[in-house]
Amino acid sequence: MSTQEFAFTPYPDLPKSHYLNVAYGLKSWLFTTDHKRIGILYLLSITFFFALGGLYATAIRLELLTPAGDMVQPDTYNRLFTMHGILMVFFFLVPSIPAVLGNFLLPLMIGAKDVAFPRLNLASWYMYMFGAGFTMYALFMGGVDTGWTFYTPFSSTYSNSYVAAVAVGIFINGFSSIFTGINFMVTIHRMRAPGMTWSRLPLFVWSHYATSLIMVLGTPVLAITIVLLAMERVFKLGFFDPALGGDPVLFQHLFWFYSHPAVYIMILPSMGVISEIIAAFSRKPIFGYKFVAFASMGIAILGFLVWGHHLFVSSQSLYAGLIFSILSMLVAVPSAVKVFNWTATLYKGSIEYSTPMFYALGFIGLFTIGGLTGLMLATIGIDVHVHDTYFVVAHFHYIMVGGALMGYLGGLHYWWPKITGRMYPGFWSHLSALIIFLGFNLTFFPQFVLGYLGMPRRYHSYPEEFQILHILSTAGASILAVGYIIPLVYFIWSLKYGEVAGDNPWDAVGLEWQTTSPPSLHNFDEIPVVDFEPYDYVEHEPVERPYRYSRSEA
């Protein structure tokens, strides 16, 4: 970048009053009812749990470097992968996009001053922290060894680890999800600005509506399941243990009735993010807006009818297996509608390779791989062979990390200037996006091969011929870790030293870009009136970026 660009670039200042400087001090955060500050509280908490879950993953990958189980005891290894799964699923992925970006953006996007129930929103964060506290207690006492799926009767009868404490933790944490879901649904129904009709809602909002539906309908089932599990464990009431007259497969039905849709709690918000990014950096309206919106609803509803694909080898009847297999394949239809519509949006667009766009393009590729291998697993004939192998592990990491996490990071990069008012360095953010993409594939692609060759999941030792693939995977994980640390550094750096971004650094449409960056306490000076269609980008119109970052990129 030359000094000339410095001279020509107008530097906007941060607005005089915004949500971050209206009040200072710990109390102004812990008692806030501002949806934006609650989003930040969630951001800090889930980042902590992501790092903790990452440490467990590191330990797992180190153990698997050698075929012998030489680093930790088998029992310790069970605790490592269990805690990794619990922390990442319940305390990072489920709240990630909805509780951070959703909380921050949903009211902004529909032109509201806040969510419908601001205090319930704060309560949801406290529920999250409270549940996390129980889980941390269990973790310090030695953790849990059941796997994040808590299969009975091992979890209810035989396990000697802190199952009950974690169960309470997840039970409480579930309410944070339910609160968020209720809040979003009521907000979307009741708080839309004049003119913000359902067919003008950003797709991010549509996908959060679908997500909320799952949160509200599914999470109570998980809560009840966990209560039943705890009652069997503590009071010896027979629900799942055959010795007590229960049915262990019933637990799996109950657990996956929530936990399969929970995958869509993770991926749907991510799809919403991708729709926003793809439109903004192709400078085109989303191709088939209505289809993409309805695909979200379709995924949410169909997603409830497929849970039995986790039970193909659990003595579920063949008849039920067939039904679940067919229905699982049907979910691919709305998912594919989305992928094709994103690609059609890219077609002949004025594509700009910004950092968020890197993540969005990465998402499309990785999600497609994760989705297609999901179809393979929905086929009973294949699943019987690769069930509980690394093939499954690779598949769901392509969805949860390659999909959900890429979307979260993409969204964080897209809206960071809105959240903080400042821009992060373009070079480092592009570099880390590339490192993450490469590291991710190197970590998880070998696991497809491993699983196909017969390496079971949740084993800490393995035959020697698998070692080379495990070494590749561990090497990839190290690269991935570097990719995650870089954004952590430059995001913190940008808070003080980042370029002032201005209200609309991407020249994007959408109400959230029409207010200041960072937004004022009540979001808008006056409630906006919406008289434009969603994503009304003017095609092929050259973009004038007001700040230095993108010019030096170009």
Partner 1 sequence: MSEQHASEHEHGLKFYWLVLFALLILTWVTYGAALIDFGHPWSDLVALAIAVTKATLVVSFFMHVKGATSMIKMSAVGGFFWLLIFFAFVLADVLTRPGMRDFF
Give the one entry of Cu ion, partner 1, none that residue 260 binds, where binding means its C-beta sits below a cut-off of 5 to 8 angstroms depending on kind: Cu ion
Going 480 to 482 to 484 to 490, the CA torsion angle's sign is negative
Sign, Cα dihedral of 123, 125, 128, 129: negative
x/- letters, 192..211, toward partner 1 (CB under 8 A): --------------------
Min dist. Cβ of residue 214 to Cu ion (A):
13
Stretch that binds partner 1, among 81-89, 94-102, 250-258, 351-359 (CB under 8 A): 250-258
When asked if residue 250 is in the footprint of partner 1 (CB under 8 A), the reply is yes
Contact flag: residue 387 with partner 1 (CB under 8 A): no
Binding partner selected for residue 304 from Cu ion, partner 1, none, CB under the kind-specific 5 to 8 Å limit: partner 1
Task: With beta carbons less than 8 A apart as the criterion, state whether 545 and 505 touch.
Answer: yes
Contacts with Cu ion by CB under 5 A: the residue count is 1
Q: Is the peptide bond before 153 cis (omega within 30 degrees of 0)?
A: yes
Q: Quick one: what does residue 320 bind among Cu ion, partner 1, none, with the CB cut-off 5 to 8 Å set by partner type? A: partner 1
Q: Is 37 in the site for Cu ion (CB under 5 A)?
A: no
Torsion angle defined by CA atoms of residues 14, 17, 18 and 22, in that order, rounded to the nearest 10 degrees: 140
DSSP state for residue 412 in the 8-state scheme: H
Q: Any idea which residue has 């594939």 for tokens?
A: 441
Can residue 260 be called a binding residue for Cu ion (CB under 5 A)? yes
Which of partner 1, Cu ion, none does 317 bind, CB closer than 5 to 8 A by kind? partner 1
Distance CA 334, CA 341 (A): 11
Q: Output the smallest distance, CB 258 to partner 1, in A.
A: 10
Q: How far apart are CA 439 and CA 303, in angstroms?
A: 30
Who's near 489: CB < 8 A, 6+ residues apart? none
Other CB atoms closer than 10 Å to residue 328's CB: what's the count?
24
Residue 305 in contact with partner 1, rule: CB under 8 A? yes
Enumerate residues 216-235 that contact partner 1 by CB under 8 A.
217, 221
Cα–Cα dist 142/135, whole Å: 11
**CB contact at 8 A, 404 and 363:** no
Q: Whose Cβ is closer to partner 1: residue 150's or residue 304's?
A: 304
User: Least distance to Cu ion from the beta carbon of 310, Å?
Assistant: 5
Helices (H), 454-547: 467-497
**Candidates 38-46, 126-134, 258-266, 380-388 — which segment interacts with Cu ion by CB under 5 A?**
258-266
Which residue's CB is nearer to Cu ion, number 253 or number 260? 260
Dihedral (CA of 215, 218, 220, 222) sign: negative
Give the x-and-dash track for 322-341 against partner 1 (CB under 8 A): -xx-----------------
User: If binding is defined by CB under 8 A, does position 304 make contact with partner 1?
Assistant: yes
**Contact call for residues 364 and 274 (beta carbons, < 8 A):** yes
In the complex, the residues that contact partner 1 under the rule CB under 8 A are 217, 221, 247, 249-250, 253, 257, 304-305, 307-308, 311, 315-320, 323-324
Per CB under 5 A, residues contacting Cu ion are 260
